[in-house]
Amino acid sequence: MLAALALPCAAATIPGVQHAPVPDGMRSNQFTVRVNGIPVDVAHAAASYDYVSFSMTKPAQVEITAAEPGFWRAGVDVEPWRLGIRPERDGQTIRFTLAGPAKLSISRPWDFLNHAKMLFLFATAPPAPAPNGTHVHVYAAGVYHESLTPKSGETLYLAPGAYFFGSLNLWNVQDVKVLGQGTIVYDGPQDPDNDQGWMQKPDWHCIGSMNAHNVKVDGVTCIVRSRTWSIQMKDSTGFVYDDLRVIGGNPGNANQDGMDWLGGGDTIVRNAFLRSSDDVFAMQGNWDGYSEADMLRPGKDVANILIENSELSTSISNVVRAGWPQKIYNSHNFTMRNSDVLHAGIGACGQDFGVLGIWGANGASGEHSGFTFENIFLDNWYSLVQMEQEKPALHDFTFRNIWALDQPPLVASHLIGNVSAVTFDNVKLGQHRVTGNAELPLESWNGARQAAQYPAPQGPFASFASNPPIFGPHETIRFEAQKWPHGQYTWLFGDGTMARGRKVKHQFQDALGTELDGANGAGRFRVLLHVQDAQGHEDWAAQGLVVVAQWHAATHNLPAQLPGLAWSLFPGTWTELPDLRTQQAVFRGIAPNLTADSHGFTHYAVSWDGYIEIPADGGYTFHLLSRDGARLVIDDMEVARTGPPFAQVCGSRGNAMRYARGSIGLHAGRHRLHVEGLHSVSPGTPLLQWEGPGLERSEVPSAAFSHDASTVIAH
């Protein structure tokens, strides 16, 4: 997929590609981008985010060079993952080919929170020419320090390269069109430390509407730099957003939703890209402040919203949210389909974040029903659903064809209160189809215990096997998909190549992995299988396969072994996991797994040492989850380290669950194991999972741990 570009002076043309200039004050020097060998302007958006935009009619070669030395050394993550893009890396530069229009997020693996350096690439079809008519206003490429305030019946055409530093205000209007591929840059006067973004007034959002109807916004880019709700619609209906791009970022990393409905609805959002610093989509009946009277004032219904063919990203909060404590309103008929969740927010605000969050607590009242999520791809995500309602009810929620392509859920989903008829129809974690609450995982409380339903599959089922179970670069692997009547099979091998057919052969040319992060002589490739039948029904399966170029031998001639691991306790008030080699342990002991006696300390770090028994030769992936920080070392090689602590909000205590993983080639037998974990503000200890040949992802059992019988425990 491909799109439109940005170059300095007049609009420029590359064979098959067109792009417009970026204003001098917006050009970024963090990245240099070339398309088909021609330089293209990179624009600074908000926070530490940059973007490029261009239109195209033929495949394009994209070359991105980072200014920061060693920027890509830890790997490259190009999303959506379902596209199977894996760039070539040459020092500071990465290269890949786009076959057609696409909206991409490009960053380093697992680095997508509010301080991440991210590059968004928008490659679209060329815009339609400006329409003619007496009520048409055409804005040529250039810089405009003003807001747009169309009247009823007017059409605004923003040519590529037209930049408006202001807002699009749609106040008490109808039958308005805003077309073209122009950009609105909003940087308002909001308090950076408090939420004032909810206010409904002109020049307070990138796009704001009040009592507006029958509005089309096509091709517009919204850049939001202040702490305000990006697109807000109050009592408005009949909106169509097509080819919308929204990038928001602010120092507070909050209160910067992508799109909000305060009453109204009847909205279609298609072919969009939204990056927010709060809920990507949020529905409320009203919002007039945070006082008790404001919260208890009944709001109007929100209904009939369709999101489709879009890419969605946030650093915090939910992808979709409805409801709030004390709020009184109803919502019905929300559909999100054929879309990618690139990054879902991590942490909690009263409840954990999810793809869908409904927080109807503390006297909230409303009936919310008819929500459908269908054909949704999950890249980086936190949990699937967090639904709570006291009165009267939540009912008729369907999650159909939800494909988690690689990362596991980090926290459990929850159904709480008067919740019924929640259907999980073909929710898949990798290749595994979820058939019960424990597999999601899902916890149900307070009347919602029988809410979840898991119907039998109706369409094609994608699943595959590979042989041999262990392999290195340039070795032939045979892939075989489960047979489905009249099935069409497409393979994406995670190395930038693809194949078709139920049975195929493939060779991986290196051991760096899909994200070029194979640092221990082994790399994990994200292999995707797409199956489609004659009626167009489809399914996906995903499996990480580890290519091993360097093997680690088991440790032999060990002294007598005993079960469990030796732990050491280091008291201290660190905010991040310290270098424990420089610290002095004050207590030691033996535990069956990753647990330890805190001896009454509330702030401390722990290290665990011993051995892990590897059941068979193979490429293994280890998944590490921790809230305050953790590190995994095997055979003196650092395999995984979680990111720095990320605080939860809205009074939720502790830090969000952080995730990291790494792959390594291990021969069967015992291998030296060292794990570190920080306990600063969050409960719990690190969670260590493994997967390998014949071993599905699961928690490493205590039986796999051992330590030398001669280990001396000093107190």
Domains of the chain: 5-124 (2.60.350.10), 136-278 (2.160.20.10), 464-549 (2.60.40.10), 561-708 (2.60.120.1560)
Task: Write down the pLDDT at residue 4.
Answer: 30
Average pLDDT over residues 74-96: 98
Q: What whole-number distance in Å separates Cα of residue 617 and Cα of residue 577?
A: 32
User: HEC string of 418-479?
Assistant: EEEEEEEEEEEECCEECCCHHHCCEEEECCCCCCEECCCCCCCCCCEEEECCCCCCCCEEEE
Task: Write down the pLDDT at residue 13.
Answer: 54
> Under a CB-based contact definition with an 8 Å cutoff, are residues 282 and 319 in contact?
no
Identify residue 364 by its one-letter amino acid code. A
pLDDT tens profile 643-693: 999 999 998 999 999 999 999 999 999 999 999 999 999 989 999 999 999
Residue 177: partners with Cβ closer than 8 Å, 6 or more residues away: 154, 155, 156, 215, 216, 217, 218
Cis preceding-peptide flag for 15 (omega within 30 of 0): no
Q: Is residue 8 predicted with pLDDT exceeding 50?
A: no
Residue 547: partners with Cβ closer than 8 Å, 6 or more residues away: 471, 472, 473, 508, 510, 511, 513, 518, 522, 523, 525, 619
Identify residue 333 by its one-letter amino acid code. N
Query: Quick count: other Cβ atoms within 10 Å of Cβ 209?
Result: 27
Average pLDDT over residues 183-203: 96
Task: Write down the pLDDT at residue 713.
Answer: 66
Question: If you write DSSP's letter for every residue of 629-683 in order, what string do you get?
Answer: -EEEEETTEEEEEPPPP-B-BTT--SB--EEEEEEEEE-SEEEEEEEEEEESSS-
185 Cα distance to chain centroid: 24
What region, left, alpha or beta, does residue 635 occupy, with left being phi > 0 and alpha being psi -120 to 50 degrees? left
Judge residue 702's burial from the number of C-beta atoms within 10 Å of its C-beta, 0-12 exposed, 13-18 middle, 19 or more buried. Answer: middle
H-helix or E-strand containing 294? Answer: helix 292-296
Task: Write down the pLDDT at residue 715.
Answer: 41
- Sign of dihedral through CA atoms 659, 660, 663, 667? negative
Question: If you write DSSP's letter for every residue of 64-99 in order, what string do you get?
Answer: EEESSTTTTTT--EEE-GGG----EEETTEEEEEE-
Average pLDDT over residues 353-365: 96
Nearest Cα residue to 16 out of 52, 47, 48, 60: 60
Band (pLDDT 50/70/90 cuts) for residue 712 is low
Query: Quick count: other Cβ atoms within 10 Å of Cβ 277?
Result: 27
Q: Which residues pair with 376 in a beta bridge?
A: 339, 402
Q: Tokens 């535990």 correspond to what residue?
A: 591
User: What mean pLDDT value characterizes the chain?
Assistant: 95
Query: Quick count: other Cβ atoms within 10 Å of Cβ 129?
Result: 11
Q: Is residue 6 predicted with pLDDT exceeding 70?
A: no
pLDDT tens profile 198-241: 999 999 999 999 999 999 999 999 999 999 999 999 999 999 99
Query: Quick count: other Cβ atoms within 10 Å of Cβ 573?
Result: 8
Tokens matching residue 443: 């916890």
Q: Is residue 414 predicted with pLDDT exceeding 80?
A: yes
Tokens matching residue 471: 């392999």
Q: What whole-number distance in Å separates Cα of residue 145 and Cα of residue 158?
A: 14
Question: If you write DSSP's letter for every residue of 351-414 in order, what string do you get?
Answer: EE--SEEEEEEEEEEEEEEEEEEEEEEEEE-S-SEEEEEEEEEEEEEEEEEEEE-SPPPSS-EE
Q: What whole-number distance in Å separates Cα of residue 177 and Cα of residue 166?
A: 18
Q: Tokens 């507006």 correspond to what residue?
A: 212
Band (pLDDT 50/70/90 cuts) for residue 580 is very high
Identify residue 365 by its one-letter amino acid code. S
Q: HSE on the CB side for 644, CA within 13 Å?
A: 10
Nearest Cα residue to 596 out of 570, 574, 569: 569
Alpha-helix runs per DSSP H in 237-285: none
pLDDT tens profile 113-143: 999 999 999 999 998 899 999 999 999 999 9
Residue with the bigger pLDDT between 263 and 446: it is 263
Least confident of 287-296, 371-380, 604-613: 287-296
Q: Number of helices and strands (H, E) in the chain?
A: 1, 60
Task: Write down the pLDDT at residue 342.
Answer: 98
Q: What whole-number distance in Å separates Cα of residue 328 and Cα of residue 392?
A: 10
pLDDT tens profile 51-61: 999 999 999 99
> Under a CB-based contact definition with an 8 Å cutoff, are residues 254 and 228 in contact?
no
Task: Write down the pLDDT at residue 1.
Answer: 27
H-helix or E-strand containing 539? Answer: strand 538-548
Q: Is residue 5 predicted with pLDDT exceeding 50?
A: no
**Vertex 5, ends 3 and 7: CA angle to 5°?**
175
What region, left, alpha or beta, does residue 564 occupy, with left being phi > 0 and alpha being psi -120 to 50 degrees? left
Average pLDDT over residues 543-563: 96
710 Cα distance to chain centroid: 46
User: HEC string of 86-141?
Assistant: CCEEECCEEEEEECCCEEEEEECCCCCCCCCCEEEEEEECCCCCCCCCCCEEEECC
Residue with the bigger pLDDT between 1 and 287: it is 287
Q: What whole-number distance in Å separates Cα of residue 163 and Cα of residue 6?
A: 12
> Under a CB-based contact definition with an 8 Å cutoff, are residues 397 and 420 in contact?
no
Please give the backbone phi and psi of residue 164, each rounded to the nearest 5 degrees, phi first: -110, 120
Q: What whole-number distance in Å separates Cα of residue 424 and Cα of residue 411?
A: 17
379 Cα distance to chain centroid: 5
Q: Is residue 26 predicted with pLDDT exceeding 50?
A: yes
Tokens matching residue 19: 């792009």
Identify residue 88 by its one-letter amino acid code. E
